[in-house]
Structure 1
Amino acid sequence: MRLGRALLAAGVIAAGVRVARSRTRRFLHPDGRSFTGELEVWGLGTPTGAALLDRPGRHPVTLRISKGAGTPPTYPDVLGVAIRVHGPVAGHRTDLLFSTAGRGRWLRHIPVPRRSFDSLYGTICPYRTGADAKIHLSLLPDLDGRALGRTLESVTAASADDGARLMLGAADGAGGTRLVGRVRFGRVLPAAADAALAFDPVRNVRADLHPTGLIHGSRAFAYRVGQRWRGARPAAPNPAAATRTNTHR
């Protein structure tokens, strides 16, 4: 009984410390590195209804790779990759967030702790396209690139001279994952720029490629509150995007 109370008290204290620290840093994915980069898209051949995936091209991106709980280096954690695609319209952005996940039709919905950044990442929940198709996006290691390794420092080292790359995949409900493009890491951004980044996968979206479901919908509130709490500038209000996410399955 005493042991249970002690563990509960320790948990409450740890949570309180984490919340207090989140006034100056992220509550989730606190430890990370941000980079400039490029998304190269070659498409799937068969249109999906999402212009970003269907039209071959190159897009500048800002990307962040991180540890979900901020465990010590080399320890397992739910690892994350956030990608902000800039343009093609000036001022427009698309935020795509990925976490290490399981493989297969059902396990891809479950975040899975990993030791290495050379892992499979998924959006966990599906996206809807302009053709009303439901697809799942993923990131996979590029076997022709450098290994990202197990630490944020090793990822930064791999990014030198165009060495760090991830493959972008898409899958519908019936088939396996097909590669649609490649993400290249550029130069590492200063710590202040990393701290100021505020990704929002619900509001910063395209109408023809948007997240679906109540899990994503709940993030619309959580992201905005968390970003304001730590002093970051949140995305512009987009009630239509939040409603679209909550009402589509």
Structure 2
Amino acid sequence: MRIGRALLAAGLVGVGVRVWHSRTRRFLHPDGRSFTGELEVWGLGAPSGANLLDRPGRHPVTLRISKGGGTPPGYPDVLGVALRVHGPVAGRRTDLLFSTCGRGRWLRHVPVPRRSFDSVYGTILPYRTGSRRKLHLCVQPDLDGRSLGTSLESVTAAADDDGARLMLGAADGAGATRLVGRARFGRVLPAAADAALAFDPVRNVPADLHPTGFIHGSRAFAYRIGQKWRGARPAAPNPAAVTRTNAHR
């Protein structure tokens, strides 16, 4: 009983310390590196109902690679990829967030700790397109690119060598994942620019490619509060997008 109480107390202290430190840094995925980059899209081959996936082209992006819990280098963690696509509509951005997950129809819904950044990352829950189609999005290593390694420093080294790339994929229902594009890392951004980034996967999305469901909807509140708490500038209000996500529309 005493051991259980001690562990509970230690856990509460740990959470409290984490919340306190989140005044100046992210509560989740605190340790990361951000990069400029480019996304090349060639599409699914058949219309998906999402402009970003259906129109072949190249778009400037901002990429962030991170560790969800901030564990030491080489230790398992739920790793993350944040991909901000600047376009294809001028002045609009699309924020897609991915976490390391399992493979297959069911395991892709489960976040999985990994040691290496050369892993499969998924959106965990599906997105809905303008044609009402549901897609699961993912990114995975480019087998022809340089290994991203097991630390943020090794990811930066791969980007410096112009060899860091991730493949963007999409799966429909029980179907196999099809690769629709390739994201290439550019130069690493300064630490201040990384800290100022505020991704929002609910508000910063187009109407024809948006997350669905209550869990995604709850992130709209959590992200906004967390970003204001640490002094970052959150996304512009978009109540229609929040309502659409919660209503599965």
> 1:214: which partner in 2?
214
In angstroms, what is the RMSD of aligned CA positions? Answer: 0.8
Once the two structures are TM-superposed, the CA of residue 135 in structure 1 deviates from its matched residue by 0.4
Q: For residues 102 and 139 of structure 1, what CA distance do their matches in structure 2 show? A: 12
Q: For residues 228 and 167 of structure 2, what CA distance do their matches in structure 1 show? A: 32
Letter in 2 for 1:113: P
Letter in 1 for 2:89: V
Q: For residues 84 and 14 of structure 1, what CA distance do their matches in structure 2 show? A: 31
Once the two structures are TM-superposed, the CA of residue 8 in structure 1 deviates from its matched residue by 1.1
Would you say the 8 A contact 2:52–2:88 is kept in 1? Answer: no
> 1:20: which partner in 2?
20
Letter in 2 for 1:118: D
Would you say the 8 A contact 2:123–2:136 is kept in 1? Answer: yes
> 1:37: which partner in 2?
37
Once the two structures are TM-superposed, the CA of residue 4 in structure 1 deviates from its matched residue by 1.2
SS of the residue 1:159 aligns to: helix
Once the two structures are TM-superposed, the CA of residue 216 in structure 1 deviates from its matched residue by 0.3
Letter in 2 for 1:170: A
Tell me the alpha carbon deviations over residues 77-102 of structure 1, each in whole angstroms, 9 at most, x when there is no partner: 00000000002333210000000001
Aligned length: 249
Q: For residues 177 and 200 of structure 1, what CA distance do their matches in structure 2 show? A: 25
Q: For residues 162 and 246 of structure 1, what CA distance do their matches in structure 2 show? A: 40
Once the two structures are TM-superposed, the CA of residue 31 in structure 1 deviates from its matched residue by 0.2
Q: For residues 161 and 107 of structure 2, what CA distance do their matches in structure 1 show? A: 35
Q: For residues 94 and 16 of structure 1, what CA distance do their matches in structure 2 show? A: 33
Q: For residues 105 and 202 of structure 1, what CA distance do their matches in structure 2 show? A: 23
Structure 2: 5+ residue runs without aligned partners?
none
> 1:195: which partner in 2?
195
> 1:114: which partner in 2?
114
> 1:228: which partner in 2?
228
Q: For residues 55 and 161 of structure 2, what CA distance do their matches in structure 1 show? A: 27
Tell me the alpha carbon deviations over residues 138-178 of structure 1, each in whole angstroms, 9 at most, x when there is no partner: 01110000000000000000002421000000000031000
Tell me the alpha carbon deviations over residues 117-146 of structure 1, each in whole angstroms, 9 at most, x when there is no partner: 000000000000011000000011100000
Letter in 1 for 2:106: W
Would you say the 8 A contact 2:101–2:121 is kept in 1? Answer: yes
SS of the residue 1:17 aligns to: helix
> 1:184: which partner in 2?
184
Structure 1: 5+ residue runs without aligned partners?
none
Q: For residues 194 and 47 of structure 1, what CA distance do their matches in structure 2 show? A: 35
Identity of aligned residues (%): 85
Tell me the alpha carbon deviations over residues 195-229 of structure 1, each in whole angstroms, 9 at most, x when there is no partner: 00000000000010000011100000000000000
Once the two structures are TM-superposed, the CA of residue 194 in structure 1 deviates from its matched residue by 0.2
Q: For residues 163 and 27 of structure 2, what CA distance do their matches in structure 1 show? A: 30
SS of the residue 1:162 aligns to: coil
> 2:46: which partner in 1?
46
Structure 1 segment 1-249 matched on structure 2, within 5 A:
1-248=1-248
Would you say the 8 A contact 2:102–2:111 is kept in 1? Answer: yes
4+ runs deviating over 3 angstroms: none
Once the two structures are TM-superposed, the CA of residue 3 in structure 1 deviates from its matched residue by 1.0
Q: For residues 69 and 141 of structure 1, what CA distance do their matches in structure 2 show? A: 22
SS of the residue 1:34 aligns to: strand
Q: For residues 110 and 121 of structure 1, what CA distance do their matches in structure 2 show? A: 10
Letter in 2 for 1:228: K
Once the two structures are TM-superposed, the CA of residue 109 in structure 1 deviates from its matched residue by 0.4
